Amino acid sequence: MDNFNEYIEKLEKLEYRNMYKNDFFLTWEKTDEELEAVFTVADALRNLRKQNKSTKIFDSGLGISIFRDNSTRTRFSYASACNLLGLEVQDLDESKSQIAHGETLRETANMVSFMADTVGIRDDMYIGKGNKYMHDFADAVDEGYKAGILEQRPTLVNLQCDIDHPTQVMADTLHIIHEFGGVENLKGKKVAMTWAYSPSYGKPLSVPQGVIGLMTRFGMDVVLAHPEGYEVMDNVMEVAKENAEKSGGSFRVTNSMEDAFKDADIVYPKSWAPFKAMEERTELFGNGDMEGIKELEARLLAQNAEHKDWECTEEMMKLTKDGKALYLHCLPADITGVSCEAGEVAASVFDRYREPLYKEASFKPYIIAAMIFLAKVKDPVAMLKKLNEGDERLKH
């Protein structure tokens, strides 16, 4: 839709009021209409920017970012989203904070949130820790707001945790929606979410889990493929099964990459570490067992090396529908002969899809901005109309 009014008309038909003054943790905690509202607002904001119209709903305020793991795309996407809405970004570098001196999470959360309207957190390294940290942070600012310490309650956006990567998979899905000409055209499309070889051992589970937890909601036929021993969380598998049943799609697991790729419309070859290994890793780090960590890493690297044939090659792509499946990746990909000796994807495949991959990534700032927008604006339709007509600001 290129007509801004079409986004408004679509948004007016959706029920998303519960997103106001709320956080965004996991996609499966949101209703279908709430997710559709995020997609619609993201497209509307992008439309306004293309028209060179201001989308700055704030004239002051901070967007706090807390990255407990490295990031390029998500870090800059969050900063872009905050800037798009008129917020200034302040990154919390824990090494420069008083956390090392015993400052509690409750205290940190309140101290950084005095003039914050949103807090984006990435904490994906340890099973059972990341999503909990985000909830504990949200609970702390809730207390501060109710006690009158904070003048506003910042909304929390999950920028990747140990369970889900909602901003990534929402951006992936909006890219698919645009590529296939609308969400209504996704039904019946086959998605291959497959493990792929990587020379590193500890990649998070949150992308494959996010994909099966979200793309099963659109009537698509989602296949999760991995070698034996690379299972994901059982509870996320249950979410995927339930979503597929409700949407009229399907969800299944296979130990064959070829099976997953056969007649697929969309492929997402991406490495991840086995769930059981990530649990073991979390326990070892918790116990400060660095020798145990080294042994685990060596064991997992050797296990990975047994599956170097799990690579997205030209031959594998020929198995897809008409040999022209849409290739997705959250980036950076392990590219054979480029970034590593052997990796997730052949250089010729990656090069052919480079522009679509960058386009896929370009949706993330708008997705994040839409999540913040729907949490901070009581009447999103009215606000979007005012932005389209001219300048408008939220009042603190």
- Give the model confidence (pLDDT) of 201-241 as tens digits: 889 999 999 999 999 999 999 999 999 999 999 999 999 99
In the predicted structure, residue 103 carries a pLDDT above the cut 90:
no
Tokens representing residue 319 in the block: 């198995």
pLDDT at residue 2, rounded to an integer: 62
pLDDT at residue 201, rounded to an integer: 84
Q: Which of 109, 153, 99 is nearest to 133 (CA)?
A: 109
User: Is the Cβ–Cβ distance between 214 and 169 less than 8 Å?
Assistant: yes
CB under 8 Å to 368, separation ≥6 — which residues?
77, 78, 80, 81, 120, 157, 159, 167
For range 391-395, the mean pLDDT: 64
pLDDT at residue 202, rounded to an integer: 81
Tokens representing residue 373 in the block: 């927008």
How much of the chain, in percent, has pLDDT values that exceed 70?
A: 97
What is the length of the chain?
A: 396
Distance CA 290, CA 312 (A): 34
- Strand, helix or coil for residue 226: coil
In the predicted structure, residue 102 carries a pLDDT above the cut 80:
no
pLDDT at residue 372, rounded to an integer: 98
Give 353's DSSP letter. Answer: T
Tens digit of each residue's pLDDT (9 = 90 or more) over 268-291: 999 999 999 999 999 999 999 999
How much of the chain, in percent, has pLDDT values that exceed 90?
A: 93
pLDDT at residue 95, rounded to an integer: 76
What pLDDT band is residue 391 in, cutting at 50, 70 and 90? low
Ranking 31-45, 94-108, 154-168, 295-309 by mean pLDDT, the lowest is 94-108
pLDDT at residue 100, rounded to an integer: 61
Distance CA 367, CA 170 (A): 7
In the predicted structure, residue 373 carries a pLDDT above the cut 70:
yes
In the predicted structure, residue 26 carries a pLDDT above the cut 70:
yes
Q: In what order do the strands lie in the sheet with 250-254?
A: 250-254, 221-225, 190-194, 266-269, 326-327
> How does DSSP assign 140-209, residue by residue?
HHHHHHHTTSSSS-PEEEEEEESS--HHHHHHHHHHHHHHTTSGGG-TT-EEEEE----S-S---SHHHH
For range 40-64, the mean pLDDT: 96
CB under 8 Å to 231, separation ≥6 — which residues?
274, 275, 276
pLDDT at residue 394, rounded to an integer: 67
**In terms of DSSP bridges, do strands 62-67 and 88-91 run parallel, antiparallel, or are they unpaired?**
parallel
Output the CA–CA distances (angstroms, integers) from residue 26 to 197, 226, 231, 288, in the order listed.
27, 23, 20, 30
Tokens representing residue 218 in the block: 């659109």
Cα four-point dihedral sign 45, 47, 50, 51: negative
In the predicted structure, residue 396 carries a pLDDT above the cut 80:
no
Distance CA 70, CA 163 (A): 17
What pLDDT band is residue 154 in, cutting at 50, 70 and 90? very high
In the predicted structure, residue 339 carries a pLDDT above the cut 70:
yes
For range 179-187, the mean pLDDT: 96
User: Is the Cβ–Cβ distance between 306 and 367 less than 8 Å?
Assistant: no
For range 100-109, the mean pLDDT: 84
